[in-house]
Chain A
């Protein structure tokens, strides 16, 4: 296994449930790791940054929600699927708000679980590519970001040049740099990348100029 392998982390204090879940995920073709408590999960070094967490809501010691909070504070962006024997609506709402992929109630049917895991994996991939894009975005100069916002906003080069008080040729050069730095081959692609950036909270420097 190398560092790019995706792993499903199972955190549940109930031995037999944890083992059953691990068996099922393994049978479905996933690599799994199992932990009996939140602490154990936090203390274990990750073999791979890719993957997701199947997390029991009620754990002895720190609960599932607390683990979610801890991961987010550490900046570890693993999508989380909560599983609970019982759950109240406020609890599930707060879990979802904090970014959980899904909130499942035991007993969990195979299809539901695997669907959720699949969604989490996709989400992980998305998050990984968004992260790359956002790193690329960080590489843009202020002027290039200004140009990007306006290009995505549907403005003509001439209008942008007028707004920014620079030559139209300069705008063209900035635009080419942006396309190159963000790995975009066409304008629609650029718009898509920009949308993903926005979705993940990477703001343009000047929100007042941001037009949609």
Chain B
């Protein structure tokens, strides 16, 4: 992935960054207060300028909007200071127009009420840092800041005017004038200040050349059109009213391409130009009395501003959502593609629909060569059917599944993979696709196979040691069979009528035959080379099978035999042959350790135990020479042996096998003579009752 395409537009992170910048700039509330004060004063001057003559009707009254914007941008604990700060600006601006002191104070109060009301409501609904780049934010701003606050405060204002008997206008005329001029000001100015303040606070990347060019073209076009429509036109009824729509395409352009900041700036421009033109008696809104002109111009501007700003906010919200989605997708894609694990998605028939970079790399093919092909072709023939069955089972059962199977490597050899498959369901609940994460386990498998070979060799060696005992175990029933058969022959020769005895003999022969073949089968299982095959095992039975094999050996060496089986022992999930191997090894070790023990003191004890903690223990104790303390640390190491003929494989293989069963093997010396080995295995839930 190219680093250039990595973008980090983190919308959620910027407010913090922006907040920090805001705090840096206005870290001093005094600086903010001075700034607001100056802006308020200049706003008032501008408001006076934008009045229609001869009867002064203010079309746009900026100071209140500036105050509202300032309150929205600053922490609320500064609000008191800001209100105090505008007192001189308020007085300075009003005094110039010969307004009585009481009226100035009243207006100050109503202006503050309006700004506080709007700011409080917007803050309450949009949080500490209100933003206009979402449709909701814009709607709330328009409803509370633009309409409700001027609407309510204008009653107060008109009331004050009536109380002070100032001017000649009626209560409702004053109310209407103030409401419209303040609403329009709030709409155009606050949106500009908030959105540009937001741009400035959050910071933007340095704009690209084409972007600046486009903005310049838009500005030039908009100014030109506005001038044509609102300034150069002759006043009067002849003016084609439809021309007022000329700026609309440019405003749409601004809204679509430049978001809320662009739209609000464009609208402010059109507003200022149109008011300026109308104030000079030009344009389509200069045809009637100043009051009517002002009203129709205000309504026209309000309608345009509201629609354009809402549109811009909605578009910007969508664009940001798309950007966020794209960023998120890219982040996930990045995560997937930079994985060293192989990741793919496929249909239930194993047709690949997605593969990540690692997958392509591993199989040394292009993505296009893989997508649309069935991955079953990458699995060696013998494993295919099993794999398809497994996938069918997952489609049926849903959920997650793990699998290990062989794969064909690009070099033609075979490797091993471990996969975690995940069923993906469609809206109707059916499995539509499967996702899989896999990695190469060829190395691990090689080690496992080597270990299995080693275990097998060690098993062969152990069975070799037991040849004499095994011969005994087989010869015993064979001898009985022979003697029984010969006895039967003799009995028949002597008295052919003695059927009952013959029947009994035949039954005994059958019994002994089964006994002999059991021994042979058992030995064959031990000698076979095989993979781990997990099944539920009764440890008591497993132990007695091993003891049967070694009983004769123990007798040969004059070793007394003790065994104790715990009743109702929980089952263990494990491989029968491998666990028998462990036990056989421990028993033979125990016997070997007693070579120097006086005959009458030789004993070997094997017992089983189950614990409530969910473990099954097999304990093998002997009365041999014990383990020298310095040998404990290396006891289970490969090729560590104290025996003359030993290879040092037995205990290390035993530990390997026990650990593969998630168990432990431990050794300790007895308090008296000899040593004890313990094999602890995790129990399965099912209890196998032992007869």
Contacts and interface: CB of A to CB of B under 8 A. Distances in A.
Interface string B202-219: 000000000000000000
Contact of A85 (B472, B501, B561): B472
Contact of B477 (A16, A24, A28, A105): A16
B471 A16 contact: no
A58 B472 contact: yes
Interface in B477-499: 477-484, 486-487, 490-491, 494
Contacts of B478: 106-107
A21 B512 CA distance: 14
B17 interface: no
B473 to A, nearest CB: 8
Given A85-B552, A108-B479, A24 B472 contact: no
B165 interface: no
A210 interface: no
B558 interface: yes
B628 interface: no
A73 B113 CA distance: 128
B232 interface: no
A27 interface: yes
Interface string B65-76: 000000000000
A63 B480 CA distance: 20
Given A28-B490, A60-B555, A20 B484 contact: yes
B37 to A, nearest CB: 112
Contact of B479 (A27, A28, A63, A85): A85
Interface string B312-332: 000000000000000000000
Interface string B508-528: 100110010000000000000
Interface in A1-58: 14, 16-17, 19-21, 23-24, 26-28, 58
B627 interface: no
B475 interface: yes
Contact of A14 (B468, B471, B480, B481): B480
Given A16-B512, A107-B475, A21 B483 contact: yes
A117 interface: no
Contacts of B105: none
Contact of A27 (B468, B491, B511): B491
Nearest to A18: B480
Given A86-B471, A106-B478, A58 B483 contact: no
Given A16-B480, A85-B475, A23 B505 contact: yes
B482 A108 contact: yes
A107 B556 contact: no
Interface string B111-149: 000000000000000000000000000000000000000
B164 interface: no
B487 A107 contact: no
B26 interface: no
Interface in B518-566: 552, 555-556, 558, 561
B483 A17 contact: yes
Contacts of B476: 14, 16-17, 85, 106
A23 B481 CA distance: 12
Contact of A107 (B473, B479, B561): B479
Given A60-B555, A85-B479, A107-B481, A27 B490 contact: yes
Contact of A20 (B490, B491, B508, B556): B508
Contacts of A16: 476-477, 480, 508, 511-512, 515
Interface string A95-111: 00000000001111110
B510 to A, nearest CB: 11
B476 to A, nearest CB: 5
A107 B480 CA distance: 7
B374 to A, nearest CB: 60
B555 A63 contact: yes
Given A59-B555, A63-B558, A17 B472 contact: no
Nearest to A105: B475
B479 A20 contact: yes
B552 A20 contact: no
Contact of A110 (B480, B483, B511, B556): B483
A127 to B, nearest CB: 27
B487 A23 contact: yes
Nearest to A17: B480
A24 B490 contact: yes
B483 A108 contact: yes
A107 to B, nearest CB: 4
A134 B133 CA distance: 132
A108 B483 CA distance: 7
Interface in A71-113: 83, 85-86, 105-110, 113
B508 A85 contact: no
B483 A23 contact: yes
Contacts of A14: 476, 480
Interface in A109-123: 109-110, 113
A153 B511 CA distance: 62
Given A85-B475, A85-B552, A86-B475, A107 B483 contact: yes
Nearest to A26: B487
From A16, A59, A63, residue with most partner B Cβ within 10 Å? A16
Interface in B453-481: 468-469, 471-473, 475-481
A85 B480 contact: no
Nearest to A88: B468
Contacts of A26: 487
A59 B481 CA distance: 20
A46 to B, nearest CB: 24
Contacts of A24: 483-484, 486-487, 490
A107 B481 CA distance: 8
Contacts of B487: 20, 23-24, 26-27
A15 to B, nearest CB: 9
A63 B554 CA distance: 12
A120 B634 CA distance: 56
B490 to A, nearest CB: 4
Contacts of A107: 475, 478-479, 481-483
B276 to A, nearest CB: 123
A83 B487 CA distance: 18
A206 B425 CA distance: 111
B370 to A, nearest CB: 64
A74 to B, nearest CB: 20
A20 B555 CA distance: 22
Given A27-B491, A28-B490, A106 B555 contact: no
A77 to B, nearest CB: 26
B466 to A, nearest CB: 11
A108 B472 CA distance: 13
A145 B508 CA distance: 59
A14 B512 CA distance: 11
B266 to A, nearest CB: 108
Contacts of B482: 20, 107-110
Given A58-B552, A63-B555, A86 B483 contact: no
A110 B555 contact: no
A85 B553 CA distance: 11
A55 B476 CA distance: 14
Nearest to A104: B479
Contacts of B501: 23
Contacts of B508: 16, 19-20
Nearest to B515: A16
Interface in A136-184: none
14 contacts: A16-B476, A17-B480, A20-B479, A21-B483, A24-B487, A24-B490, A27-B487, A27-B490, A106-B478, A106-B479, A108-B482, A109-B486, A110-B483, A113-B483
Q: Which 10 A-B pairs have the closest CB atoms?
A: A85-B472, A106-B479, A107-B479, A27-B490, A20-B483, A23-B487, A24-B487, A110-B486, A20-B480, A107-B482
Given A24-B490, A58-B555, 15 more contacts: A14-B476, A16-B480, A17-B479, A23-B484, A24-B486, A24-B487, A58-B552, A83-B479, A85-B475, A86-B469, A86-B552, A107-B479, A109-B482, A109-B486, A110-B483
